[in-house]
């Protein structure tokens, strides 16, 4: 972390007192406004020749403050009346009210961040901020993106672009406005969402990005806020997006979506009739190998099959340096959940998988299955269980759910191998669709 504030705050009390005592009156008055001193890493502009800087973060991660301080850095000169690098700035939010209430007048907005001798004046009727040195910032609403026809700027701050309803049109219109100066730039502050305009932006060569979770800004958040939101949303896909600030993608045609999985979330589980570990072993044990998928499923199988319910309890997937390492992880999960059986795909390792596992845990109940159909076809009947509301998820399954939201009937639409999903499919088949391995019709051995 580059923050000088962290270094001082972590120093012994005597060092801190000496530091503050040696400041002149002017230096002490200026210290609260020296953002380079207080900023977190993700709030400071990256080096290099970029056109767009995207600041991705969870709620309360300090994105707004970073945007406001970047605008200050562009328009302010070394002294109050001196010109800065930018003279005309566009401030674009979802609505005019949000530009005013968040970006300009908010707790972390431009007015609150500016020192008295450089503080701009908000001209509400003209929707403009005017600085003492003559620089101006004009407010725009993404809903009224046609208003961006005509004006021109040498800098822009865009807030919460990922939730704009007409984001692509507004962003495209803004690009035509950034035509003043030698190097017009834009900063985008947003909680990520799976929208085309953001994904396209992040993929462009002129874009750089920084990222932080809500947790990074803990010192500046209300007491109890983090505890409350983590208790409610931690370990969910919504929490991964809104608190961790991660871009989660739902692929068109995928068997599972974020909304579906979050709707199936539960806090408590019943007593189980059986607990199954699905295992998809890595092909090799080299550093470049895939992970070994290990997923734990508990099932309630009382009454007719239509009344059976399954609960995905844990994703214990590991990246193992050797077969014995993943075997130990399987054995640990088996003991942890008091499991009844391990079901593992044996296409690559054959009987070797069982031999390795039994060296570590000789008494494990083991069943080998062989994949004969493509991954998408294997997953489809399991996806149907979710559509019927017969599967529930505990929290903390983020990486598994990310893979699930990329699995389609045509196969996996992500990088690497969907080891976690494969392990899930084997576990749910064994628990719900073919518990005895003797199902009539397409059995688990034919998947």
Three state DSSP letters for the chain: CCCHHHHHHHCCHHHHHHHHHCCCHHHHHHHHHCHHHHCCHHHCCCCCCCCEEEEEECCCCCHHHHHHHHHHHHHECCCCCCECCCCEEEEEECCHHHHHHHHHCCCCCHHHHCCHHHCCEEECCCCEEECCCCCEEEEEEHHHHHHHCCCCECEEEEECHHHCCCHHHHHHHHHHHECCCCCCEEEEEECCCCCHHHHHHHCCCCEEEEEECHHHHHHHCCCCHHHHHHHHHCCCHHHHHHCCCCCCCCCCCECCCHHHHHHCECCCCCCCCEEEEEEECCCCCCCCCCCEEEEEEEEECCCCHHHCEEEEEEECCECCCCHHHHHHHHHHHHHHHCCCEEEEECCCCCHHHHHHHHHHCCCCCEEEECCCCCHHHHHHHHHHHHHCCCEEECCCCHHHHHHHCCEECCEECCCCCCHHHHHHHHHHHHHHHCCCCCCCCCCHHHC
Model pLDDT, residue 441:
36
Model pLDDT, residue 438:
45
Model pLDDT, residue 129:
97
Model pLDDT, residue 285:
53
Give the chain's residues under pLDDT 70. 1-11, 235, 237, 250, 283-289, 347-351, 371-374, 435-447
Model pLDDT, residue 156:
97
Model pLDDT, residue 445:
41
Model pLDDT, residue 444:
41
């Amino acid at each position: 972390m580059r923050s000088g504030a962290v270094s001082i705050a972590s120093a012994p009390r005597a060092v801190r007192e000496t530091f503050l005592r040696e400041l002149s009156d002017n230096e002490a008055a200026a210290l609260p406004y020296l953002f380079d001193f207080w900023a977190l890493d993700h709030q400071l502009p990256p080096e290099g020749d970029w056109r767009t800087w995207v600041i991705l973060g969870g709620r309360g991660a300090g994105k707004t403050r970073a945007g406001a301080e970047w605008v200050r850095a562009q328009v302010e000169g070394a002294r109050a009346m001196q010109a800065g690098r930018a003279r005309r700035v566009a401030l674009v939010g979802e609505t005019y009210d949000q530009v005013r209430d968040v970006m300009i007048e908010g707790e972390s907005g431009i007015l609150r961040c500016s020192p008295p001798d450089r503080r701009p004046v908000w001209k509400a009727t003209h929707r403009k901020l005017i600085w003492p040195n003559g620089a101006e910032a004009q407010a725009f609403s993404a809903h009224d993106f046609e208003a961006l026809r005509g004006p021109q700027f040498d800098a822009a701050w865009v807030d919460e672009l990922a939730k704009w309803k007409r984001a692509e049109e507004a962003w495209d219109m803004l690009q035509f406005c950034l035509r003043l100066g030698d190097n017009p730039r834009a900063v985008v502050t947003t909680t990520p969402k799976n929208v085309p305009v953001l994904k396209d932006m992040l993929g462009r060569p002129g874009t750089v990005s920084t990222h932080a979770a809500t947790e990074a800004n803990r010192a500046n958040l209300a007491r109890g806020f983090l505890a409350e939101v983590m208790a409610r949303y931690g370990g969910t896909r919504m929490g991964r997006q809104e608190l961790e600030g991660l871009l989660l993608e739902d692929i068109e045609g995928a068997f599972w979506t974020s909304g579906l999985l979050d709707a199936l979330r539960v806090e408590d589980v019943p007593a189980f009739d059986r607990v199954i570990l699905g295992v998809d072993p890595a092909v090799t044990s080299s550093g470049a190998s895939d992970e070994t998928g290990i997923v734990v499923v508990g099932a309630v199988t009382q009454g007719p099959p239509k009344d059976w319910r399954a609960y995905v309890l844990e994703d214990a997937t590991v990246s193992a340096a050797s077969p014995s390492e993943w075997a130990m992880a399987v054995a640990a999960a088996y003991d942890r959940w008091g499991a009844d059986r391990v079901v593992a795909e044996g296409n690559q390792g054959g009987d070797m998988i069982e031999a390795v596992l039994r060296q570590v845990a000789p008494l494990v109940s083991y069943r080998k299955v062989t994949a004969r159909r493509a991954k998408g076809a294997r997953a489809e009947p399991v996806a149907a269980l979710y559509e019927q509301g017969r599967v529930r998820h505990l929290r903390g399954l983020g990486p598994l759910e990310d893979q699930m939201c990329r699995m389609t009937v045509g196969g996996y639409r992500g990088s690497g191998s969907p080891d976690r999903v494969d392990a899930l499919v084997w576990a749910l088949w064994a628990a719900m669709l073919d518990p005895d391995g003797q199902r009539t019709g397409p059995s688990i051995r034919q998947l």
